[in-house]
Structure 1
């Protein structure tokens, strides 16, 4: 049985490729903002530990990802508590939050890709990471790793390939 994909592959107005995910969480926007910006919260679902200097131009230090060396990125834009975008490993990540009411927030993650052939690989990785965030938002523990070669992303990767999402980039754990 194929995995249920929640990501969408798209071409942005400027011609760059991206994968986008959207969720609705039963939390106020300020709480979801913590999921996105607090290092301890991020560590529970994001692929790397991320220490963010929360200002445009601020540095982000990434560590702890078994598939990437420690690195830094730069905050591209910040509009608390609605938008954060930053550089990460050559890609851009855009987090957009929209308060639907006092207790619900729409969360949208757009991974703007440096290379289109990373779409299937990154999409599969985000499926697992966002499953961990979904569990966290429900107050549940996420069983198993949410990042790295042991994360259960291979079924998602196969489903993205079956859907015709661009691929070809090296895949940690398979290549």
Structure 2
């Protein structure tokens, strides 16, 4: 696997950006970004949001140890944008409708810790591959922790000069 994310800074804050194009309309992709049962196929934690209204609480949990913390819905504009915070960081998903029923997803992760960029980028690459599989009709379960693919991606990001050095769980 090759790294697909890019490191940047937004208003002085470290960030990662990923862009993917899908052969499916934005409406279909949006469901996979907001429905808890669909998110379970690709997102790294179980996500529950009683409502997607801006300001609503989002709860994250992990199978292995339960508590994943909480966040807040920052934006919900179906089918083009959804964003929420998680442990003080921000996840922004923007969808564009393209010709022929296709769509483009731009995912931006605003981080607190610059040194976490390579670690997080590798994790998001693995998760976004799982999202692609789910969109294409072959959903599995969300990636869980380190894997050979994650290791390869992490080394690729480090070699490309993306900031690294944060602790790697597992």
Is the TM-score greater than 0.5? yes
Q: TM-score, normalised by structure 2?
A: 0.92
Residue 164 of structure 2 corresponds to residue 167 of structure 1: yes
The gaps in structure 2 that reach 5 residues or longer are none
Deviation at 1:156, TM superposition (A): 0.6
Give the one of 17, 26, 29 matched to 1:32: 29
Deviation at 1:68, TM superposition (A): 7.6
Aligned to 2:6: 8
CA change 1:35–1:111 in 2 (3 A) is same
The gaps in structure 1 that reach 5 residues or longer are none
Q: TM-score, normalised by structure 1?
A: 0.89
Aligned to 1:113: 111
| Runs of 4+ residues deviating >6 angstroms | none
Residue 138 of structure 2 corresponds to residue 140 of structure 1: yes
Give the one of 80, 83, 104 matched to 2:81: 83
Give the one of 121, 124, 130 matched to 2:122: 124
1:85-122 CA distances to partner (integer Å, 9 max, x unpaired)?
11112210000001113511101110111111110000
CA RMSD of aligned residues (A): 1.8
- Any idea what SS the aligned residue of 1:122 has? helix
Aligned to 2:153: 156
8 A contact 1:145–1:151 mirrored in 2: no
Deviation at 1:159, TM superposition (A): 0.7
